[in-house]
Amino acid sequence: MKSPLKLYFLPYISPGHMIPLSEMARLFANQGHHVTIITTTSNATLLQKYTTATLSLHLIPLPTKEAGLPDGLENFISVNDLETAGKLYYALSLLQPVIEEFITSNPPDCIVSDMFYPWTADLASQLQVPRMVFHAACIFAMCMKESMRGPDAPHLKVSSDYELFEVKGLPDPVFMTRAQLPDYVRTPNGYTQLMEMWREAEKKSYGVMVNNFYELDPAYTEHYSKIMGHKVWNIGPAAQILHRGSGDKIERVHKAVVGENQCLSWLDTKEPNSVFYVCFGSAIRFPDDQLYEIASALESSGAQFIWAVLGKDSDNSDSNSDSEWLPAGFEEKMKETGRGMIIRGWAPQVLILDHPSVGGFMTHCGWNSTIEGVSAGVGMVTWPLYAEQFYNEKLITQVLKIGVEAGVEEWNLWVDVGRKLVKREKIEAAIRAVMGEAGVEMRRKAKELSVKAKKAVQDGGSSHRNLMALIEDLQRIRDDKMSKVAN
């Protein structure tokens, strides 16, 4: 039996990156390998629950004072403006030499790094160990990004931001508009240069690790491997492996503001596939006028629902002005009739989605939420906002055909979401399309994918086989290196 590997995992300091990579670290630790997650002091509170006998945290103080940040602000979940984001980026850059010194003085057998740390590619090369890149996005989105590169990119050939174009060279016909592309794709800027730097670092790496399962988008896994010249390892959905008990599903990022019993007892009274769940991830705080449109659409749709709303909890200064974002008597009426539940703050999303009464999910199309929706087998209403979320929308609606679009027309920075209102009529129509008769086929396809996701993570499933094959590869590389040193 080969000796255990020593692996360092370096997650980015944002929940959408940190949680899935830490869950993947647990997969390696559960196989008996020695795993260290390198993170900052305040982020340890998010990750402490992942520690085991073979998984530890190495904590490095973030120089917040030098960057002009308040003590304890060490995660992008706490950032609401570009100035603070810039300071946090700067503080993070100051950690590079500290992390390099730690890794160099205690070399691992492999570095598993978020894509946002391109310098780990050269560090791994110096240490003669493989570097695995972790993408918080799916491979379909990475293929879309590749299709938007170069002088022949399809968005350069349209005459307006709202003219539909086909993304060429993909295994399926995919259509979108220029307005739905990130600003750094439409008009090259400093971030575009960073993207190229991350891409070059990836090409130097051993391979890519993704929180997905092969059966979801097999043609895109092969397509991307061919473009980039290295293997893609789908070893997820990690949450399906690690969070099988209801207690595990309650608290993944922050403690949920409602308990397991409160959620489950309400859901248990509902018919299968009758509840519509609305949640926009860990960072989205819509303006009141957009929340009002969502509430109005939920009311007129007739659907039973759970709606998780950030920024409207009791600690928020605007919490008393419900009339600004809810129709008169809305919440009271929903409680009295048992039609709806509003969760003001963090919701136990996986617990809710996995309940058999839930049949639909309105999502911002962040990859973690998307793969959780797929794993739960629910139809989706897509409401992308920023990052690669419009790409994920096209996967859901055009390739997998398990969702419908809410009608969002423009990509925005996360600080500018809701700038262009999506009206209640569009939202209601999308809810009815997913939850009504028209959504039966959509939900059937979603259930099929859910079964495939669960099979993938079982012993002998594709994700389990990929994990074991990657471990074998890394052990072989380590043993070959040791043999050369010995000779």
User: Residues 404-431: pLDDT tens digits?
Assistant: 999 999 999 877 887 889 999 999 999 9
What type of residue sits at position 264?
Answer: L
- Strand, helix or coil at 305? strand
Active site residue 268: no
Q: Specify the pLDDT at position 346.
A: 87
Q: Which residues are annotated as part of the binding site for UDP?
A: 282, 346-347, 364, 368-369, 372, 386
d(CA 461, CA 386): 33
Among 352, 408, 346, which residue's Cα sits nearest to residue 77?
A: 346
Total residue count of the chain as it appears in this document: 487
Q: Which letter does DSSP use for residue 316 in this model?
A: S
List 33, 34, 109, 114, catalytic entry: 114
Q: Which residue of the set 17, 33, 155, 464 is catalytic?
A: 17
Instruction: Give the whole-angstrom CA distance, residue 223 versus residue 399.
Output: 15
Do residues 366 and 77 lie in contact, with contact meaning Cβ atoms separated by under 8 Å? no
- Structural domains of the chain in order of their starting residue, each with its CATH number: 6-241+459-486 (3.40.50.2000), 246-452 (3.40.50.2000)
Handedness of CA 192, 194, 198, 201 (dihedral sign): positive
pTM of the model: 0.95
Read off the tokens for 484.
């050369």
Give residue for tokens 């700038």: 419
CB of 357 closer than 8 Å to CB of 267 = yes
Give pLDDT tens digits for 245-277.
545 554 555 567 777 788 999 999 999 999 999
Give exposure, 5-16, as e/b (b: 16+ Cβ within 10 Å). bbbbbbbbbbbb
- Per-residue confidence in pLDDT tens, the chain, 487 aa: 799 999 999 999 999 999 999 999 999 999 999 999 999 999 999 999 999 999 999 999 999 999 999 999 999 999 989 999 999 999 999 999 999 999 999 999 999 999 999 999 999 999 999 999 999 999 999 999 999 999 999 999 999 999 999 999 999 999 999 999 999 999 999 999 999 999 999 999 999 999 999 999 999 999 999 999 999 999 999 988 776 554 555 455 556 777 778 899 999 999 999 999 999 998 888 999 999 999 999 999 999 999 999 888 655 444 447 879 999 999 999 999 999 999 998 899 999 999 999 999 999 999 999 999 999 999 999 999 999 999 999 999 999 999 999 999 999 987 788 788 999 999 999 999 999 998 999 999 999 999 999 999 999 999 999 999 999 999 999 999 998 887 7
Residue 78, C-beta contacts closer than 8 angstroms, at least 6 positions apart? none
Q: How far apart are CA 233 and CA 443, in angstroms?
A: 28
Question: Over the range 346-361, which residues count as b (16 or more CB within 10 Å of their CB) and which as e?
Answer: bbbbbbbbbbebbbbb
Confidence (pLDDT) at 318: 47
**Does the annotation mark 17 as catalytic?**
yes
Q: Are strands 110-114 and 403-405 parallel, antiparallel or unpaired?
A: unpaired
